[in-house]
Structures are given as C-alpha cells and as structure tokens.
Amino acid sequence: MKSLVSKLVVLVFFCFSSGKSMANLGEYTLGAGDLVNITVFGEEDLFVETRVSNVGVIKYPFLGELQLIGKTVNEVERIIDEGLRGDYLINPTVSVSVIEYRPFFIDGEVKRPGGYSYQPGLSFDKAVALAGGYTERANKAKVNTKRIIDGREESLELSVGDIVLPGDIITIPSRFF
C-alpha cells in the first residue's frame, strides 16, 4: 500500500513539475472543425450532425446558435438539456459525441509534413510516425509545439511520451552538424 501511495505522489508531482496541469490531461474540449453528433432520445427532429464553425458555434433546433468552442461534451449536453427542458420537452435525454476530431499539424524535419486526423490518446512519437518519421536532419531534442490553452496560443516543448491534442502545430527543427 505504501508503494502505491508513493507512486501516486510521484505521478502527481511529475504532472505539476513538468508544466502540465491536470486539466490538460483531462477531458477533451471542443474546437473549430470538430464534427459532432447530437441526439435527444425519442426526438428524431432534434438529431443534428454538424461541424463546429470557425467561430465555434453550431445551429440547433429551437435553441438557435450555441457556442461550443472550449466546452466539453458533458457541458454541451447540459446546455442543450437545460435549453429544451420545460418549454419544449419534459425530461430530455441528450447525447453528444465527437464523430471526427479536428486535425493536428506537423511540419519541419519529418518525411511527410501536413495535417493528420487526430486519434484520442495520440502520443508525440505516434504523431511523428504518422508523418513518416524524422528526416536525417531532425533535431529530436527540441520539438516546438503551439497549442491553444485557455484561449491563448502557448508554445510548449514535447518529448516522446507526451500527448498530442487536436489543433496542435508541431514543428520539428533542423539540427546543425
């Protein structure tokens, strides 16, 4: 038991000391380009499959435009439930799922730079593999990543086991011999 507690303490310390907050490791937040599926049990007219627009909104029956960017699937379910409850439905059962995630991008010293489909749990080394691997000039020690965090673009350094998120822009720099 002591061993388990000490491992948990080390894990929590690692997460905070490495600059990653627990929120970054938590639930996925929606962004522009995500394809979402919204269903309300027993209400076929309220089924919607739509892509989140560049400004982060979708149009939903009876509720109009909904701002989804930065919200989790659970938050969107709650918003739709509260909007439909009472005036339109007595007890709606709302389900929201992400059908297609927005892509991540990788450029620089990889064999096939470009945009790639995100897959949940995608690690940095797997992202490099999707892009055909490193070129012979790649500087593997210093990888720059741009990521939107709390509405602001942040610059991060990734290493082999780190998780890639949708919308990330990964740049593999050249090394000098």
DSSP lists the bridge partners of residue 100 as 35
Task: List the alpha helices (DSSP H) in 62-103.
Answer: 73-84
Task: List the alpha helices (DSSP H) in 27-158.
Answer: 73-84, 124-130
Handedness of CA 40, 46, 50, 53 (dihedral sign): negative
Q: Which regions of the chain are under pLDDT 50? A: 1-25
pLDDT of res. 17: 34
Fold of 35-100: wza like fold (3.30.1950)
All structural domains of the chain with their residue ranges: 35-100, 103-172
Phi, psi at residue 130, to the nearest 5°? Answer: -60, -35
pLDDT of res. 28: 84
pLDDT of res. 142: 82
**C-alpha to C-alpha distance for 132 and 112, rounded to whole angstroms:** 6
pLDDT of res. 26: 54
Say if residue 176 is exposed, middle or buried (CB neighbours under 10 Å; 0-12, 13-18, 19+): exposed
pLDDT of res. 18: 35
Counting residues of the chain whose pLDDT is more than 90, the rounded percentage is 63
pLDDT of res. 14: 34
Per-residue pLDDT reduced to its tens digit, 4-27: 333 333 333 333 333 333 334 457
Fold of 103-172: Outer membrane lipoprotein wza fold like (3.10.560)
pLDDT of res. 4: 37
Global confidence as pTM: 0.72
Residues in the chain: 177
pLDDT of res. 175: 85
Q: Are 146 and 153 in contact (CB under 8 A)?
A: yes
Per-residue pLDDT reduced to its tens digit, 104-130: 999 999 999 999 999 888 999 999 999
Query: Quick check: do 35-100 and 103-172 share a fold?
Result: no
